[in-house]
Structure formats: C-alpha cells, structure tokens
Amino acid sequence: MANRNATLDAKSPVAYAGSKAVIPDDELVYLYRQMLLARRFEERCAQSYTQAKIGGYCHLYIGQEANLAGLLSALRPNWDYVITAYRDHVQPIFMGTSPGAVMAELYGRKTGTSGGKGGSMHLYDPARGFMGGWGIVGGQIPIAIGFAFAAKYRNEDRVTLCFIGDGAVPIGAFHESLNIAGILRLPIVFVIENNQYAMGTALEVSNAIPDLYKHGERFNIQSRPVDGMDLWAVRGAMDEAVAAARNGEPQLIESKTYRFRGHSMADAGQYRTKEEVQEWKQRDPLETVGAYLLERGLLTTDDIDRLNEEIRAECAAAADFADSSPAPTEADLFNNVYV
C-alpha cells in the first residue's frame, strides 16, 4: 500500500505552480463560509444516507473544499458554465442553488433540482450555469467541449470549467476532448481533481504518467499543477487559466487534493492507511483558512462558532424541507422526456 505523502516539499512542482492569489479580506471571509457550508452540508448528507433517506450512490466532497472555493470564485456568476462528474453536491450550492433543492434531489423529491428523478449524481441548475453532474466516468468531458464550442460559435465571452477526476484521465473521451479543444482553441478550463485514488485504485497504478497535467501539453494546451489543499494557490492558478481561456487559449490544471471519506458512502476505504488519511487531514483547508482568519483578526473564535451554528441550522432546514416535500408522481415520469 503506497503512502501518498501530504507534504509538498520544495522540489515538488505542485507546491509552487502558478502565483498565489491576493484575496480581499471580505471575499476571504465569504469563501470560508462557503467552504464551511459545503463541509456541513456533506456531513448532513452522510447522516441522511445512513438513515436510508438518500438512496443509490452518494459521493462526498469532504476534504476538497479549497478546490471548490478557489475554482468557482474565479468565474463570472450566472454566466460561465460549470460541469462535473458525480461528486456534485456542493458545486451548485456554491453557485447559488438552494441547499434545500439539492437535498430534496438527494432524497428523490419533486422539489429537487431535477424533480427527484436524478438523485445524487445528476444535479442541475442551468439558470446559474451549472450544467450538471454526470454519472458515467468521463461522460461530462465531451459535453463540456460542446458548451465551450457553442460559446465560441456565438461569440460569447463565456468560459467553461470542466471538473475531471483522476480516474477519468486514462479514458479515450478525455484525450479526444483535449485534442478538439487544442485544435479549435476553445474557451475551456479542464481541472483534474487528483485526489490520489480512482475509486480504490492508487494513482500510480491507474496512470502511466503520474504527472497528469502533462497530458494537456501533448494537445497544445497550457497546463499547470497546483496544490489543491491551498485556497490561495488554487485561486491564483484559476485566475490565470480563466483569463487565458477568455482569450481563446484552452487550459488544464491538475489540482493535487485528497478526499477524507471513501470514494462513496459505500466505500470503507481499506485500500489506504489511517496514517495516510490523518496526514492529509493536517492540511485540512478549513483549518488552514480558519487559522489565517483568526490570526489576521478577521474572525474570532466566537464568530466561527456562530457561523457553524448558523450553517448547521441551514443544513437542518434543508433536510426538513426535503423530508416534507412530495415524491414525484407516476405522471412525472413522462415530463421532460422530449424537448
């Protein structure tokens, strides 16, 4: 069992890729709140799953919140496109979707983002630019190419952000899509969230080239690695990538991050050691950003306690909303079948 060390030393390109963003104090406090909301919402999802209120699969984002905040905060709200795989609960919430609507979808209720017919892996909010979670590994990547091509064809100043798991990198659709983006110079940013494991398969076993960002270079796409546990580093890399993409230069970022839970709620995570997980938890982005805010005097411990209490109440309200919402009817099966 390999030990994927959480420490990024001075020799690691990941540790020093891109510039560190200067995030204004008020925005940093907001991003910290959004990261807290993502964490507490996912913890509530885990609780609901164990209570059998969420059926099917349930893939949690816990541990990767620096990516969430750093990547999405660099986009234009309600304009740029975002598309991802099935670890998709928190992206729409960050983009403004009601936590109640997301939880209702997880519960399979009519008030959910997809009318209760999509569930955990198929959340959508096109009005806010969130073009969905996709359940097939890599299935979102060619779709992202379509959004980016449409934006260029219509001469819209609109960037597409495509989240990709490291497990999708070896598949053909990834390479075919990068080739098209490189040829057509599409306004797209591919972000590989390298959380070290494709389900239970370690990175070095599933990828012949462990430096995943290097794949972009083969298709004339500017590519960079970044420390995905560092909010400032992720935001800096994304700021640079988005600016280039708006000028017709496709981009690829490999964000080295780590999920603290299993691949899904059904995964006991026996393929990695407790010591490895604990080592990565020492770099928990919530702890890092929270400590910075305390050190700078931007928040107090009482402020953080109040935020946690407020957010837990918000998540509880979302669960109550889902609980009290109706299930889809038989007639709803025939809605939205054809456009």
Chain centre distance of CA 238: 13
* Amino acid at the residue 22: V
Name the region of 236 (left: φ>0; alpha: ψ -120 to 50; beta: rest).
Answer: alpha
Query: Can you give the C-alpha Rg of the chain in angstroms?
Result: 19
CA atoms within 13 A on the CB side of 284: 15
Q: What is the pLDDT of residue 103?
A: 97
Banded pLDDT at 14 (limits 50, 70, 90): low
The DSSP line for 11-68 is: T-GGGG-SPPP---HHHHHHHHHHHHHHHHHHHHHHHHHHTT-S-S-----TT-HHHH
Tell me: domain 14-325, CATH 3.40.50.970, correct? yes
Buried/exposed 166-203: b ≥16 CB within 10 Å, e otherwise:
bbbbbbebbeebbebbbebbbbbbbbbbbbbbbeeebb
Q: What is the pLDDT of residue 6?
A: 53
Q: Model confidence over 157-186: pLDDT tens digits?
A: 999 999 999 999 999 999 999 999 999 999
Q: What is the pLDDT of residue 21?
A: 87
Q: Model confidence over 213-243: pLDDT tens digits?
A: 999 999 999 999 999 999 999 999 999 999 9
Mean pLDDT over the full length of the chain? 92
Cα–Cα distance measured from residue 269 to residue 259, given in angstroms and rounded to the nearest whole number:
11
Question: Is residue 246 over pLDDT 60?
Answer: yes
Percentage of the chain with pLDDT > 70?
A: 95
Q: Model confidence over 37-62: pLDDT tens digits?
A: 999 999 999 999 999 999 899 999 99
Backbone CA torsion sign across 105, 95, 310, 282: positive
Pick 339 or 26 by higher pLDDT. Answer: 26
Cα–Cα distance measured from residue 8 to residue 280, given in angstroms and rounded to the nearest whole number:
11
Domain layout of the chain by residue ranges = 14-325
Question: Is residue 3 over pLDDT 60?
Answer: no
110-122 average pLDDT score:
94
Q: Model confidence over 130-146: pLDDT tens digits?
A: 999 999 999 999 999 99
